[in-house]
Amino acid sequence: MTLTEISTRSAARVAGLGYAAVFLLAIFANFAVMTRLVDPANPAATASNIAESAAQFRVALAAFTVVFVVDIVIAWALYVVFKPADATRSLLAAWSRLIYTVFLGVAVVFSAVALEVAARDLGAGGDIAVGVAMHAFDITWLVGLVAFGVHLILLGRIMLRSHIGPRWIPITLTIAGSAYIIDTFAHLLVADYASFADVFLALVAIPSVVGEFAFTVWLFARSRASAPTIEHEVASVEA
């Protein structure tokens, strides 16, 4: 076994563990806390909810911050995994994920500002500021998700072009990446987005959950010592 084989398998394990951590932390922070406390149509209720559940909100911020760090590690690990198949696209995919991660970090800062303002109980003006800060959180994250969508599309392209893994996984990743991009532009361009929110949620959630979960399982499978390396798969295709 060569050092390269060890590194790609180890990187696949790191990426798989990172994805598992991101799934758990992001679902908790976004759906168990943020979605429950934030009402985009009612800044006063949002400010009150955040102030009353400040401890939970802080835990959610901490979870998002951990996701921020873990995503950097995932970007590196996936670059190592796919570099033997396509070094150029793998590098671009890594940079795309890092750009998304930067936007996520900025979004967390906006939510921290919302918490600080809500805790001071500044009245109606404070409520508006909390609403604006949380809207900035949403928009910043959504813009970052365009880069994340590009990241998924590039991963799908690498896997399809190099015949790595079951074809339905990269196809689903490509659909998920496209859905993220479409959803962001829908937020920006459709004035009455709320009327179609459930449709867009399904458009994004179904392929992203299925594709990224399957991709995580595939990464763990690739990390096993008995699994063929990416280098060997690429060599067999080229042969």
Q: Three-state SS string across 114-141, please?
A: HHHHHHHCCCHHHHHHHHHHHHHHHHHH
In which band, very low, low, confident or very high, does the pLDDT at 8 lie, cut at 50, 70 and 90?
confident
Amino acid (one-letter) located at 118: A
**Buried-exposed string 23-55: b where 16+ CB fall within 10 A, e elsewhere:** eebbebbbeebbeebbbeeebeebbbbbbebee
Residue 190 backbone dihedrals phi, psi, to 5 degrees: -95, 110
pLDDT at 169 over 90: yes
Q: What is the mean pLDDT of residues 43-65?
A: 96
Q: Do 139 and 187 touch, CB atoms closer than 8 A?
A: yes
The neighbour count for residue 238, using CB atoms within 10 Å, is: 8
Q: What is the mean pLDDT of residues 61-87?
A: 96
For residue 58, what is the enclosing H or E element?
helix 54-82
Give per-residue pLDDT as tens, 75-132.
Answer: 999 999 999 999 999 999 999 999 999 999 999 999 999 999 999 878 888 999 999 9
Q: Three-state SS string across 164-181, please?
A: CCCCHHHHHHHHHHHHHH
Give per-residue pLDDT as tens, 188-208.
Answer: 999 899 899 999 999 999 999
Q: Do 50 and 118 touch, CB atoms closer than 8 A?
A: yes
